[in-house]
Structure 1
Amino acid sequence: MFDTMTLTKLASGLLGAWLVLLLGKWVGEEVYHAEAHGEQSYAIEIEGAEEEEPEEELDFAALMDVADPASGERVFRKCSACHKIAAGENNVGPYLHGVVGRQIAAVDGFNYSGALADIDAAWTPDELSAFLENPKGYAPGTTMGFAGLKKPEERADLIAYLDTLDD
C-alpha cells in the first residue's frame, strides 16, 4: 500500500506546506508590524479627560517608624522555607539573626552567589527593602529564587521584625 516513494511524497508535501506557512507568517509580520515608525505627530485631545496624577512616593523611613514587628513575623513565614533565624544555622539561605546592619554576604560558612558577594555595602533597612522588593533586579544573577515582596508595608514590617531578633 505505502512504499518509500509514497511516504517521501507525503512528508515532502507536509513539510513544504509548513514552510510556506512559516514564510507567509514572516512576510506578514514584516509588512504589518505594529511598531510605531518615529514619534507621534499629533495627539487627539479628549474633552473632559483629566491627566493622571503621579502616585505619591512612599517614604520608607516613615513606613519603618510605624512598622509592626508582629506583622513582620507573619510575613517571615514566606522566608522560613529557606532561612533560619538562629545565629549560625544556615539553610538554603543564610541565617537572618542580626541581618539588619550586617555587611552583605558576610555570613561565614555560606556560599553566596557572585552577584551578592561583589556588593560592598551593609544591609540597611533601605538596602533590605530594595532587595526584598525584587531580588533578581537588585542583584542580577543571585541564586535567590524568591519573587519578592511588592507591598512596602510588608517589607517594612519584615525588616522591623528582623531588627528585633538581635540584641
Structure 2
Amino acid sequence: MTQSAVVKDVHVGDEIAYGPVATAYYAVLEFLQIRPFYSMKSGYGFETRFGSYGKASFVEVWSFGKQLDYSKGVSQKRICFQAPCLIEETGLVLLGEADFRAAAQNGFAFAMVGKLRRINGKVSAQAFGEVLKLKGQLAPALSAVQPPPKPYPDLALELDGKSGELRPREQAQPAVESD
C-alpha cells in the first residue's frame, strides 16, 4: 500500500486527503488498484488503475445494484518487451458521503464493467477509514470562516465638507461652518 497523505493543489485551489493505494483485484498478469480520497471541491470517491495485457474499456461501475458516478481516464501502453503490451486504464469514481462512510466501516465491493470485460473488486475498510482520519487536517472551507460578501455594497455617498469630494457616507467629514 502507498502511504496516505494530504495534498494541496495550488493551481485549482483544492486540498485532497488521499488514502493508501489498495489492490481491489489481482490475477496472473493483471490487477486493479484504487486510491480513495476526499476533495474539498469534488467530495468523496476513489481513483482506479487497471493493468492487463488485454484492454477492458471500462464504462460503468456498480455496487450492489447501484450505478456509481464513473469518469473514464486514460488508456495507455506501459510495458512493451514483446507483443502484447501491458495496458493501463485509469478512471475516477465519485461516492456520496453515506456510501463512503459505509465503506470505511464494512469495506467496499464493486464491479467495473467494460466494453470488453468485467472485473469484480473488493477493498478493505482500512483504506477508506484512512481518508476520514486525514479529512480533519484539511483547512476549513472559506465559507465556514468568513461570512459571504454582501451582493451589493452600500453605495451611499456624501459630499465631504472639507475636501468637496464624494466619499462613502461613513468616511465623509461634516462641513465646518464659519461665522
The TM-score normalised by the length of structure 2 is 0.25
User: Taking CA–CA contacts closer than 8 Å with sequence separation of 6 or more, which of the two structures ends up with the larger relative contact order?
Assistant: 1
Which is strand-richer, 1 or 2? Answer: 2
Which is helix-richer, 1 or 2? Answer: 1
The TM-score normalised by the length of structure 1 is 0.26
